[in-house]
Chains A and B, each alone.
Chain A
Amino acid sequence: MIKTDILIIGAGPTGLFAVFEAGLLQLKCHLIDALPQAGGQCAEIYPKKPIYDIPGFPEVLAGDLVDNLMEQIKPFQPGFTLGERAETIEKLDDGSFIVTTNKGTKHHAPVVAIAGGLGSFEPRKPLLENLEKYEDNGVAYMIKEPEIYRGKKVLIAGGGDSALDWSIFLADIAKEVTLVHRRNEFRGALDSVEKVQQLKNEGKINLMTPAEVVALKGKDYLEKVTVKNTSTSEETDVEIDDFIPLFGLSPKLGPISNWGLEIEKNAIKVNNSLDYQTNIPGIYAIGDVNTYPGKLKLILCGFHEATLMCQSAYQKIYPDKKYVMKYTTVGGVTGFDGSKKEAPKAVVKAID
């Protein structure tokens, strides 16, 4: 069981900055995120896009903002449970919570802060009949262990980086790799596109474009798929062992929507006049995942919400302690790792 003071669900910019504000109050944080890396949308969707409205940064790339936040919170030694989705929450008699992930990892904390952004990122599934029947029976949306495709006939669908990169990778492992895309053009890194072209020329990748998979066939296990050429409408059955549609990820609020929280407009209602607490005392929601009158889904607003949430969380965890907010220019930053940053002391010295 992982124990912490504030359990933060979502490791995007808002969740990461909450670690800093909590650290100033000597509160420890642990973050859960369904993605395999920290940074949320900034890292997953648009790391190379510039942001112009972070105060003090005339321009910063989303990926760099995440790197900076990770550096800023390092002294506070946050824990991470990455690649796992927060699934269930249980309130104990003492008011604290146990949050369990889809992989069974349990976290215990007196305060839970949901900084889940748009939700957890789930693979986009193609619209095909009987798709669910073949899930785990020949259809997979993510490649976890490439080795299981050794000697297999694999068909990948998609036109982005992951479709290209996995086609290249599996070309050496699988018996056959077929790449199906609705267009002739691919959107990916130039060298990936060129590598696929080369592998196609060498006969190591069977490229089918412009085409799409329109039907799945097989008794219990997937045996073949029907691929339709979208310009000639000609349909071909391709015998395969595995079908891997890679159409990117889309966010879903997911299991959090079953936690008994008040939801409005696909977001969690919070008390914005006070501390961004939800209808369940001890559970807060900050950043893009919450809603209140006048809400703006901006990173800078998430930072503010995280700051007020931490003050409230402190009072909740230590109801009898007196505390006043201290400026970092005055108090410096003392990390849990023993590091100490502070303003240099002024020199008192007479000038002759």
Chain B
Amino acid sequence: MSDIKLKIIDRDGELHEVDAPTDMNMNLMEVVRSYELAPEGTIGICGGMAMCASCQCYVKSNHQLPEKSDDEEAMLAEAFFVKDNSRLGCQIHITEDLDGLEVELAPEEA
């Protein structure tokens, strides 16, 4: 069991430092939900299929993240509040390389 540390800024601007397991097949969206950093029903709506943008976040640290899949690219192309550092949390798998990753949750779509 190995945990990594993540810094997650919630939608109200509050910073949370949380432990995330690397051996539970989890993604970033699921970590956010497990700590209830965004209300249920406002994040991970599609369940993690890159079919909504409710888990969009901005990557603030310089970690090397895996390339976006076509599905993620396409979803971000239709999402709102998208910036250059936007990613879908559900497509970011928790691995040891991500130790210290800092992200900020994008605003909820109206």
Contacts and interface: CB of A to CB of B under 8 A. Distances in A.
Nearest to A291: B40
Interface in B51-110: 51-52, 70-71, 73-74, 77-78, 80-82, 109-110
B51 A45 contact: yes
B77 A159 contact: yes
Interface residues of B, number: 21
A265 B41 contact: yes
B73 A183 contact: yes
Identify whether the interface residues of A are mostly helix, strand, loop, or mixed: loop
Contacts of A182: 77-78, 82
Given A250-B45, A266-B42, A185 B51 contact: no
Contacts of A247: 78
A10 B47 CA distance: 19
Contact of B70 (A118, A127, A187): A187
Contacts of B81: 127
B18 interface: no
B49 interface: yes
Nearest to B78: A247
Given A250-B45, A265-B39, A159 B74 contact: yes
Contacts of A160: 74, 78
Contacts of B39: 265-266
Contacts of B109: 124, 250
Interface string B13-46: 0000000000000000000000000011110011
A195 interface: no
Contacts of B70: 187
Contacts of A183: 73-74, 77
A78 interface: no
Given A158-B78, A182-B78, A247-B78, A266 B73 contact: no
A267 B41 contact: yes
A224 interface: no
A53 to B, nearest CB: 12
Contacts of A124: 78, 80, 109
A181 interface: yes
B45 A118 contact: yes
Nearest to B52: A250
A45 to B, nearest CB: 6
Contacts of A118: 41, 45
Interface residues of A, number: 26
B74 to A, nearest CB: 4
A138 interface: no
B95 to A, nearest CB: 24
Nearest to A163: B78
Contacts of A181: 77
Contacts of A185: 73-74, 77
B75 to A, nearest CB: 8
B33 to A, nearest CB: 11
B100 to A, nearest CB: 30
Contact of A49 (B49, B80, B110): B49
Interface in A292-314: 297
Nearest to A246: B78
A335 interface: no
Ranked 3 nearest A-B pairs via Cβ = A266-B41, A187-B74, A265-B40
Interface of A: 45-46, 49, 118, 124-127, 158-160, 181-183, 185, 187, 247-248, 250-251, 253, 265-267, 291, 297
Given A159-B74, A266-B42, 13 more contacts: A46-B46, A49-B49, A118-B41, A118-B45, A127-B81, A159-B78, A182-B78, A185-B74, A185-B77, A187-B77, A265-B40, A265-B41, A297-B47
Interface of B: 39-42, 45-47, 49, 51-52, 70-71, 73-74, 77-78, 80-82, 109-110
24 contacts: A45-B46, A45-B51, A118-B41, A124-B78, A124-B80, A124-B109, A126-B80, A159-B74, A159-B77, A182-B77, A182-B78, A185-B73, A187-B74, A248-B78, A250-B109, A253-B41, A265-B39, A265-B41, A266-B39, A266-B40, A267-B40, A267-B41, A291-B40, A297-B47
